[in-house]
Amino acid sequence: MRYILVLVMLLVAAWPENVLSQERKRCAICAVTEGAGPEAVAATTAHEGKTYYFCSEACKEKFSADPGDWAAKFEKASQTEGAGHFGRLPDFELQLGDGTTLKRSDWQNKVIVLDFWATWCGPCVAEIPQFVELQRQNAKDLHILGFSYDKQEEDHVNFLKEHGVNYPSVLASSASGKDFLRKLLKQIGSVKAIPVTILINRQGEIVYRQTGEIDEAFKAALTAELARP
């Protein structure tokens, strides 16, 4: 047993620090080039008194080659993340898979969550149960709406049925989906990577954008909006 303990200690000591780290931050390179959300931190560096995080040593090296330029680009990308004032939710009339039409006017005075996702996106699928539970617990005050980046309607519809998704979802590539997203993305910025989640308050104001799986900050913002009359 003593030898086993020694072996385990040696393995832990030799394990890469980035694998052991549970901290997740937006990579200052991938956030700019791919629109990526929080990732496991593999490296950090400081520039003008601020710490920047990276998903790999390669990204850190890329940043270090021109820190001023990358820092400026990252700060610009970060302006459309987290809490903010992104304007009002555009009106919409969306055609659902069952042939019904969903109108913005149907959801007046409700908190709304928009989820950009796809069945082939692992992090997207991982957080679906959270959305299902949130919708179940807050059926009177919350409406969740998915925008799927799947290419095939069949994949999209089958997933919704198989996983008991209790809120509507439409294909982003559908005619009505494209029309709405064209207006929405002018306000919240482009979606380069998914999942992306948007929070709208009861007054129709877009107040939060989360790239990557929803975190505690997003949940706190949602709870606060649900508590407001």
- Span 14-18, mean pLDDT? 45
In this structure, of 19-28, 47-56, 59-68, the range with the lowest mean pLDDT score is 19-28
DSSP string, 67-133: HHHHHHHHHHHHTTSEE----BPPP-EEE-TTS-EEEGGGGTT-EEEEEEE-TT-HHHHHHHHHHHH
- The residue among 56, 78, 100 that closes a domain is 78
Question: The pTM is what?
Answer: 0.77
Average pLDDT, whole number, for the chain? 87
- Token pair in block for residue 173: 């590539």
pLDDT per residue over 65-81, tens digit each? 999 999 998 888 777 77
pLDDT per residue over 121-159, tens digit each? 999 999 999 999 999 999 999 999 999 999 988 999 999
Judgement on whether residues 73 and 89 belong to the same structural domain of the protein:
no
CATH code for the domain of 140: 3.40.30.10
Judgement on whether residues 113 and 207 belong to the same structural domain of the protein:
yes
pLDDT per residue over 159-210, tens digit each? 999 999 999 999 999 999 999 999 999 888 888 889 999 999 999 999 999 9
- The residue among 58, 78, 98 that closes a domain is 78
Asked if pLDDT for residue 104 goes beyond 70, the answer is yes
Judgement on whether residues 155 and 49 belong to the same structural domain of the protein:
no
Q: What range defines the domain where residue 50 resides?
A: 2-78
Number of structural domains the chain divides into: 2
